[in-house]
Amino acid sequence: MTTTRRTSVRLTQFAHGGGCACKIPPGELEDVLGALSAPLPAAAGTPLLVGLATGDDAAVIALPTRGDTPAQAVVSTADFFTPVVDDPYDWGRIAAANALSDVYAMGGRPVLAVNLLAWPREVLPFELAREVLRGGLQVATEAGCHVGGGHSVDDPEPKYGMAVTGLADPARLLRNDTGRPGMPLSLTKPLGLGVLNNRHKATGERFEQAVATMTALNRDASAAALAAGATCATDITGFGLLGHLHKLARASRVTAVIDTACVPYLDGAREAVRDGYVSGGTRRNLEWVAPFTDFGTTDADTRVLLADAQTSGGLLVAGEVPGAPVIGELVPGGPHTLVLR
């Protein structure tokens, strides 16, 4: 559904990008981070279970057990971005759901968040900032996650997100390096958020289906994946389906085969691609994965949608998740990490 809603301030016009499409390109980011992993010695007593090595969704450490205390892991992540929609309350909800998603993508549950806010204090009224924070609090409350303050800076460009701490069972994590040949691939939200958000920024059209998708927590999908015995997953955000799946397949030393006819898309997504509402982030995603991908006969618009920079997208799970379409499978590693059929 598409509607047009006039607002006195269009937040998206104060940002050079929008949502997760404003991420630093994955290739450039990997060049920067490549030599920065420095694990603490074992004597530190808190083993790092997941760090920089595989480019997973969050960092995870194991807490030391004492007596009869069950083993627990702490999941830590941070995510923030420029306005993806004009409505400040919706932007807050979307940014919070997106930040919490990294914990769900690891098989954890968020327990504490702090706000990260950058605001052009002499340009935009603080009433709008209050609405952004109210939206973030609403979604965190829905998730059963405390919000305990945060940090703010004066910035020419508005940005909002959260740093989130979660808890998980260290024996039941969802990781991106545990995929094995023969596992099906399930996708829990449709694609197309990036191109619809880009159209919204350009025209002011409001896409209710996109807002509903971005504000939906990945909590139930994570719980369903764990209940089904899954051990491998990632969430689909700024690097697009192809980018995040490439990272998963590379970390797991397998090849991912996508049945392009089975991938779900939001209403209006193909029309947005046809009409040219494609972000630079999406084009950079496609350029990054091209050397690792056998595109087969897949048409150009479908390639764009598969690389579309999502904001608060769904989980991609190596395993079957009730209610989620199976869009492909993992097979033994070959010359490409990604194959489109």
Q: Which residues of 244-260 are buried (b: 16+ CB within 10 A; e: fewer)?
A: bbbbbbbbbebbbbbeb
Whether 311 contacts 230, CB under 8 Å: no
Give the separation between CA 295 and CA 94, rounded to whole angstroms.
Answer: 32
CA neighbours within 13 Å on the CB side: how many for 205?
16
Mode of pairing for the β-strands spanning 254-258 and 338-340: parallel
Whether 194 contacts 311, CB under 8 Å: yes
Q: Which residues contact 330 (CB under 8 A, 6 or more apart)?
A: 179, 180, 181, 182, 183, 185, 249, 252, 254, 255, 256, 257, 318
Q: Is 20 annotated as catalytic? A: yes
Q: Which residues of 95-112 are buried (b: 16+ CB within 10 A; e: fewer)?
A: bbbbbbbbbbbbbbbbbe
Give the separation between CA 339 and CA 341, rounded to whole angstroms.
Answer: 7
Report the phi/psi class of residue 107: left, alpha or beta, with left for phi > 0 and alpha for psi in -120 to 50: left
Mode of pairing for the β-strands spanning 109-119 and 159-168: antiparallel
- At position 315, the amino acid (one-letter code) is L
Annotated catalytic residue within 20, 22, 145, 232: 20
Q: Which residues contact 152 (CB under 8 A, 6 or more apart)?
A: 115, 117, 118, 119
Helix (H, G, I), strand (E, B) or coil at 14: helix
- Residues with catalytic annotation? 20
